[in-house]
Amino acid sequence: MSKAMSAIENILSLDTATGDTCACLLAGGRTYPALLAGDQRMRSTGIVPMLIDLLHQAGLTWSDLKLLAFSHGPGSFTGLRIGAATLAGINSGLHLPVLHLSALAVTARQTVSGDPLWVLEDARAGEAFVGCYQQGKPLLPERCMQWQDIVAELTPGNFVCHAEPPVELPGWHRIPLAISRAEALGLQVLAAELVEDASSSLPRYPKPDYMQLSQAERSAHAG
């Protein structure tokens, strides 16, 4: 654990942006990862028990927590809404600062590579969530692009993703995921290197970053 982050112990983080829900607790210089695999419809009932189990593993209670972290997107609309609502409910009594993390940056952390790395996550509707990182640092702003524009406009390179890309990507090389998402979530929290004074300026409410119109919004715009 870095010297800067050692000022803030007992950090509980949650990620619901992908097909699986995961969490990570940083406490006592240790990392406690957890995974809630399965159907998205079970997330709302399974998240809190998963988090409680993490606290029990570390011998902590809710009142011992100092900071919450939320992988706020982009990602699944349903997953992000459920994750934000769950964390907001938990924090309604705790009033803790909430660190917002990019879900694409967490994905980049799941690899072992020192070279520039693209994250190309299928966003459906012919689109992808796109980010570019090197050793965890963003090289370009994240954006939502058409898959056809990725092929036509971006220079092929190494990329990582969870779902199989729906198009052929000539010249691109897919890098395998080497680290569990829960562990990568913890690494991304540590990389923020927050000191206690800085955390006081963080928001208290988790806000999803959808980066994409919902189907209802698309229909409204089309009409």
Task: Give the domain CATH number at 122.
Answer: 3.30.420
Does the pLDDT of residue 62 top 80, yes or no?
yes
Q: Give the pLDDT of residue 8.
A: 73
Distance CA 30, CA 28 (A): 5
DSSP 111-123: S--SS-EEEEEEE
Q: Does residue 190 share a domain with residue 169?
A: no
98 strand-pairing partners: 68
**pLDDT beyond 90 at 1:** no
Over residues 98-123, the mean pLDDT reads 95
Beta bridge partners of 104: none
| Residue 91 to residue 104: CA distance in whole angstroms | 24
Mean pLDDT computed over 113-125: 94
CA distance 99 to 195: 12
Do 85 and 148 reside in the same domain of the chain? no
Picking from 11-20, 34-43, 204-213, which range would have the lowest pLDDT averaged per residue?
Answer: 34-43
Per-residue burial over 122-155, b = 16 or more CB atoms within 10 Å of its CB, e = otherwise? bbeeebbbbbbbeeeeeeeebebbebeebbeebe
Residue 198: predicted pLDDT: 58
Would you place residue 20 in the very low, low, confident or very high pLDDT band (cuts 50, 70, 90)? confident
One domain for residues 50 and 156:
no
Residues 44 and 24 in one domain: yes
Q: Strand 117-124 and strand 158-160: pairing?
A: parallel
Instruction: Kindly state whether residues 85 and 184 are assigned to the same domain.
Output: yes
Does 188 lie in the same domain as 155?
A: no
- Asked if residue 222 belongs to a domain, the reply is no
**Predicted local confidence at residue 116, as pLDDT:** 95
pTM equals: 0.90
Cα dist from 78 to 19, 74, 75, 112, whole Å: 10, 11, 9, 29
**Same domain? 53 vs 71:** yes
Within this chain, do residues 200 and 146 fall inside the same structural domain, yes or no? no
The pLDDT score that the predictor gives to residue 21 is 93
**pLDDT tens profile 148-171:** 999 999 999 999 999 999 999 999
Are residues 65 and 159 both part of a single domain? no
% of residues, the chain, pLDDT over 90: 74
**Do 17 and 63 sit in the same domain of this protein?**
yes
What domain range is 151 assigned to? Answer: 111-174
